[in-house]
Amino acid sequence: MRFVREHANINMTGKINLLDYDLNALGSYFNEIGDKSFRAQQVAKWIYHHGVVDYKLMTNLSKTLRRYLAENTIIKLPEIITEQRSEDGTRKWLVRIDDKNSVEMVFIPEDDRGTLCISSQIGCPLDCKFCSTAQQGFNRNLSTAEIIGQIWIANKTLGYFESGKRIITNIVFMGMGEPLLNYDNVLKTIHLLTDDLGFGLARRRVTVSTSGIIPGIDRLKDDANVSLAISLHASDNALRDSIVPINRSYPLADLLAACRRYSTGRAYATVTIEYVMLNGVNDSADDAHSLVKCLQGLSAKVNLIPFNKFPGTNYTCSNRTTINAFRDILIKAGIVTITRKTRGDDIDAACGQLVGKVMARAIRYQKNQVGQM
């Protein structure tokens, strides 16, 4: 057996973390070390179907291979530091990523689904004014292992591997960070989520939320074909420039054109528009009519999101009457619109409230820097 020690994804331990590889890369790895590519299928089933991360227990691998993997690779997972439970059943976990940084993820149980909201970066570089995560600053992208590891430890905690009953049915990249600025690692995570040898989720049950990174949207259309959510929050460039600064690089008309490209020719063509309701900022009848005009020609549904307060913010949430009036204007125009039910706000687990622990470093987003933060 010919074993090659040099490989690209070496971590600080000097060992390869196999969670950094999707199934194609894992098959290539086994070929590189002189074994058969089908070993990737065996190892993936142990990790993602059975929850086994100890090579000694992977009994359909030879002892020689198990010994080699133990000496040269690791299966390193993030670690849950704390758990909080909301009165509504929502669970929030603080997850240690490294010695200085942690992120948060949230599980939202409902009658017909269980949604896990995961993070893709430590902090966020985009500085959206109404988001607590953005106010923490930015440290770095998460690796594939650090992203898929969140899903693994959530499944473990919820009892999936022991029961075989799927508890997490939907994954949303709506936690900390801008997923399309960590494109390559997010894409590999999507592959592991949707592959039958990984977690086996349908593509429509995986949603990537973006503030509007157009190059990433166009790549995702060709590479993944998962559900897309757009953090829009304003229907004119002047307002969006001020509350979602990435709009200065990718203005509304260009962003909505990318959304139309994304929805064209897909098996399920709906794009979700996320719109946080900010009292006196973007919630007037004129704002609603302007949003209707923006969305013409786009197969889209709209989620109206009541703003969730966080320390230091001057924004407040629109009142229920205003939100209902805004919603009714959109519905009358033929746009499918719902008001998102706030979940987990009593444990700061609601939309825009995730903070984790971020050792921020000075960095500023540069246009077209997709996946290179």
Residue 116's beta-bridge partner residues? Answer: 107, 171
Is 3 within a domain? no
Least confident of 8-17, 30-39, 297-306: 8-17
How confident is residue 358, by pLDDT bands cut at 50, 70 and 90? low
How confident is residue 356, by pLDDT bands cut at 50, 70 and 90? low
Same domain, residue pair 148 and 278: yes
pLDDT of residue 245: 93
Is 198 within a domain? yes
Least confident of 9-13, 161-165, 222-226, 285-289: 9-13
Closest by Cα among 38, 23, 54 to 161: 54
pTM of the model: 0.89
What is the number of domains present in the chain?
A: 2
pLDDT of residue 234: 96
In this structure, are residues 326 and 287 in contact, taking their beta carbons and an 8 Å threshold? Answer: yes
Same domain, residue pair 66 and 89: no
* CATH code of 22's domain: 1.10.150.530
Same domain, residue pair 169 and 226: yes
pLDDT of residue 309: 80
Same domain, residue pair 48 and 161: no
Is 156 within a domain? yes
Is 368 within a domain? no
Is 362 within a domain? no
* CATH code of 96's domain: 3.20.20.70
pLDDT of residue 86: 87
Least confident of 190-194, 266-270, 341-345: 266-270
Q: Per residue in 115-137, is it b (16+ CB within 10 Å) or e — as a string? A: bbbbbbbbbbbbbbbbbbbbbbb
The residue that leads in pLDDT, 135 or 356, is 135
In this structure, are residues 123 and 103 in contact, taking their beta carbons and an 8 Å threshold? Answer: no
What angle do the packed helices 285-294 and 320-332 form, to 10 degrees?
30
How confident is residue 220, by pLDDT bands cut at 50, 70 and 90? very high
Q: How far apart are CA 257 and CA 234, in angstroms?
A: 16
**So which residues are the catalytic ones?**
104, 351
pLDDT of residue 371: 52
Instruction: Please give the torsion angle defined by the CA atoms of residues 165, 152, 225 and 275, in that order, rounded to the nearest 10 degrees.
Output: 100
| Residue pLDDT, tens place only, 92-131 | 999 999 888 889 899 999 988 999 999 999 988 888 888 8
Q: Tell me the pairing of strands 170-173 and 114-117.
A: parallel
Helix (H) or strand (E) run with residue 255 in it: helix 252-263
Is 47 within a domain? yes
What angle do the packed helices 183-194 and 23-32 form, to 10 degrees?
90
Same domain, residue pair 175 and 26: no
The residue that leads in pLDDT, 7 or 275, is 275
pLDDT of residue 136: 74
Does residue 70 have a pLDDT over 50?
Answer: yes
How confident is residue 349, by pLDDT bands cut at 50, 70 and 90? very low
Position of tokens 């020609």?
297
pLDDT of residue 134: 67
Domain closes at, from 74, 90, 108? 74
Does residue 89 have a pLDDT over 60?
Answer: yes
| Residue pLDDT, tens place only, 137-193 | 788 999 999 999 999 999 999 999 999 899 999 999 999 899 999 999 999 999 999
How confident is residue 4, by pLDDT bands cut at 50, 70 and 90? very low
Residue 235 domain boundaries: 79-347
Is 323 within a domain? yes
| Residue pLDDT, tens place only, 278-326 | 999 999 999 999 999 999 989 899 999 999 887 778 899 999 999 999 9
Same domain, residue pair 40 and 84: no
pLDDT of residue 347: 52
Same domain, residue pair 65 and 107: no
| Long-range contacts formed by 27-34: CB under 8 A, 24+ apart | 32/4, 32/7, 33/1, 33/2, 33/3, 33/4, 33/68, 34/1, 34/2, 34/3, 34/4
In this structure, are residues 206 and 171 in contact, taking their beta carbons and an 8 Å threshold? Answer: yes
Same domain, residue pair 121 and 32: no
pLDDT of residue 210: 97
Position of tokens 């689904």?
113
The mean of the pLDDT values for the chain is 88
DSSP codes, 3-55: -----S-B-TTSSEEGGG--HHHHHHHHHHTTS-TTHHHHHHIIIIIS----G
